[in-house]
Amino acid sequence: MDKKEIKINRMRSVKEVTKEYNKLIADVETNEFYKIDLTNRVNCYTCEECGHITKTIDIDAGVTPFMFTCEKYKETAMCSCKNITSNSSFFNDIAPNQAPTFEWYRPTLKQVLKMRAKEDGLLDHILQGGLDYRKRGVEQIQPSSQSETKSEKKAHAILFAEWCEKNDYVYLPQEDLWCDVNQERFTTSELHDRFLNKE
Ligand SMILES: [Zn+2]
């Protein structure tokens, strides 16, 4: 068995991930754990090496790490702190005059499905209630967890799964492609575009 085959076998199917994502969204809506006040949920990560504070804000309710790479390293890679981690202030705003530069958010189903190919643990982290981060101000124009409400996201995921089934698209895990009745192949992204355009 070559390396490529091993990778494909380990990759989870769209259906499986969609199901887990829907379960997560339902959990986020109902579980007390996620009932967090998000009005100003900021966190400060202090670099062990240079002392710089990287300030973040949670825009969704979920799990964020205790440690974060120093922003000075992330931004320029010139700072002597290199990849030294920064330690969380556990949501104490120890830098009230500083604006958050990164935000923690829950990725959409579409974004989560794209994570299947990578083996960096991010997919598992998200499906277990974790949040991903992005630079503040980036991607805010696109529909994301901010503009798509939780119930809308769930409805969207279910509709897509139902639409695939109704239209006889079959997922082929070995190829990571979808197959229609005419044996024509599509990527998940192509299929999702078809779904959005309802051809
Ligand atoms: Zn640093």
Whole-Å CA distances, 33 to 27, 28, 29, 133, 135: 9, 8, 10, 20, 26
Compute the distance from residue 86 Cα to the ligand 1 centre, in Å: 7
| Mean pLDDT on 82-90 | 83
Cα-to-centroid distance, 85 and ligand 1 (Å): 8
Q: What is the CB neighbour count within 10 angstroms for residue 59?
A: 20
Ligand 1 centroid–CA 19 distance in Å is: 40
Cα(112)–Cα(178) distance, integer angstroms: 17
Tokens of 169: 């698209």
Distance 76 CA to ligand 1 centre (A): 11
Q: Is the pLDDT of residue 156 over 50?
A: yes
Q: Do residues 125 and 154 share a domain?
A: no
Give distance in angstroms: CA of 125 to centre of ligand 1: 25
Instruction: Tell me the pLDDT of the chain averaged across its residues.
Output: 83
Q: Is the pLDDT of residue 80 over 70?
A: no
Q: Which of 137, 171, 186 is the last residue of a domain?
A: 137
Q: What is the pLDDT of residue 78?
A: 58
In angstroms, rounded to a whole number, what is the distance separating the alpha carbons of residues 27 and 128? 10
Q: Read off the pLDDT band of 91 (50, 70, 90).
A: very high
Q: Number of folded domains in the chain?
A: 2
Q: Does the pLDDT at position 143 exceed 50?
A: no
Q: Transcribe the chain into DSSP letters.
A: --HHHHHHHHSPPHHHHHHHHHHHHHHHHH-GGG----SS-EEEEEETTT-PEEEEEESSSSB--SEEE-HHHHHHS-STTTT-EEEE-TT--S-TTSPP-EEEEPPPHHHHHHGGG--SSHHHHHHTTB-EEEETTTT-SS--TTTS-HHHHHHHHHHHHHHHHHTT-EEETTTTEEE-TT--EE-HHHHHHHHHHT-
Cα–Cα distance for residue pair 182/132, rounded to 1 Å: 38
Q: Are residues 92 and 157 in the same domain?
A: no
Q: Could you tell me if 131 and 161 lie in one domain?
A: no
Question: Which percentage of the chain shows pLDDT scores above 90?
Answer: 46
pLDDT, residue 199, reads 53
Residue 153 sits in the same domain as residue 90: no
Parent domain of 153: 141-199
Distance from the alpha carbon of residue 74 to the mean position of ligand 1, in angstroms: 9
Residue-wise over 27-52: b if at least 16 C-beta within 10 A, else e? Answer: ebeeeeebeeeeeebbbbbbbebeee
Measured in Å, residue 100 CA sits from the centre of ligand 1 at: 16
Q: Are residues 126 and 107 in the same domain?
A: yes
How many angstroms does the Cα of residue 53 sit away from the middle of ligand 1? 8
How confident is the model at residue 112, as a pLDDT?
Answer: 95
pLDDT score at 62: 97
Do 83 and 116 lie in one domain? The reply is yes
Judge if 172 and 98 occupy the same domain.
no
Name the amino acid, one letter, at 96.
Answer: P
Residues within 5 Å of ion ligand 1, judged at the Cβ atom: 47, 49-50, 52, 70, 72, 81
> How many alpha carbons fall within 13 Å on the CB side of residue 81?
20
Judgement on whether residues 195 and 102 belong to the same structural domain of the protein: no
Residues 146 and 165 in one domain: yes
Residue at which a domain ends, from 99, 121, 137: 137
Q: Which of 111, 137, 163 is the last residue of a domain?
A: 137
Residue 130 CA, ligand 1 centroid: distance in Å: 24
Pair (89, 103) in one structural domain? yes
154/108 same-domain check: no
Q: Are residues 46 and 65 in the same domain?
A: yes
pLDDT at 196: 81
**pLDDT mean over 45-67:** 92
